[in-house]
Copies of this chain bind each other. A is one copy, B any other.
Amino acid sequence: MIIEDEELICNELSKLLKNNNYEAIVLKDFKNALKEILTVSPDLILLDINIPFLNGEALLQNLRKESNIPVIMVTSNNSEIDEALSISYGADDYITKPYNPNILLLRIGAVLKRTKTNYNLKENELVYKELKFDIQKGIIKKGNREIELTKNEMIIFSYLLNHQNKIVTRDELMTILWDNSEYVNENALTVNISRLRGKLKEIGYEDVIDTRKGLGYILS
């Protein structure tokens, strides 16, 4: 959602966002801004702080009482005070006019990534090839098929995803699963890997966890 009074900028921004596969909505009615925002419930807000007759900082403060929708503050001058202020009011990032479109896109991407992975259960998904992995619930989705991972499988899969294309040693996994093995059978890990592979296979992902004998495992 774009909150900005200069129509030219609004149009450019809309175009820019749409060209990059975002949906863009421009807020028209500044009077009922808060209500509008909450109704639309956008994924991210670009908020110009210098709109006449709209107290952007107050709006942000009020918004923060009800929602954690990420906000990127758009400021006119480059002073640090402004930046610090916007951030203390709860903005997730700031950018000064005139902004470079590519930089703005990078910032938007970064904020979305940051806030998505930071605890919004519904959207906390990680993508691997054609499948989505819901970290909190431990559910893998592919198309309409869903597979539920157990806690151990979740931990292993998370770790492998986080180290894609890198060899992960069995020791590393043992440490993560059982705090460096008090008295757990070495085979327990093998079994858990086996089970994870089985589930991945069910949704058509055979051979994605590769064994590097003597070294560990690798997720391609």
Contact = CB atoms under 8 A, between A and B. Distances in A.
A66 B102 CA distance: 29
Interface string A149-172: 001001100110111001000000
B117 A117 contact: yes
A72 to B, nearest CB: 12
A83 B137 CA distance: 36
A140 to B, nearest CB: 15
B113 A159 contact: no
A104 B136 CA distance: 32
A162 B110 contact: no
Interface stretch (A119-127, A199-207, A212-220): A119-127
Contacts of A121: 155, 158-159, 162, 176
A203 to B, nearest CB: 18
How big is chain A's contact interface, by range? Answer: 35 or more
Contacts of A83: 102-103, 106
A68 interface: yes
Contacts of A159: 121
A15 to B, nearest CB: 18
A64 to B, nearest CB: 10
15 contacts: A66-B166, A83-B103, A84-B102, A93-B110, A113-B114, A117-B118, A118-B162, A119-B126, A121-B155, A121-B158, A121-B176, A122-B176, A135-B135, A136-B158, A138-B151
Interface of A: 66-68, 80, 83-84, 87, 93, 100, 102-103, 106, 110, 113-114, 117-122, 126, 135-138, 151, 154-155, 158-159, 161-163, 166, 176
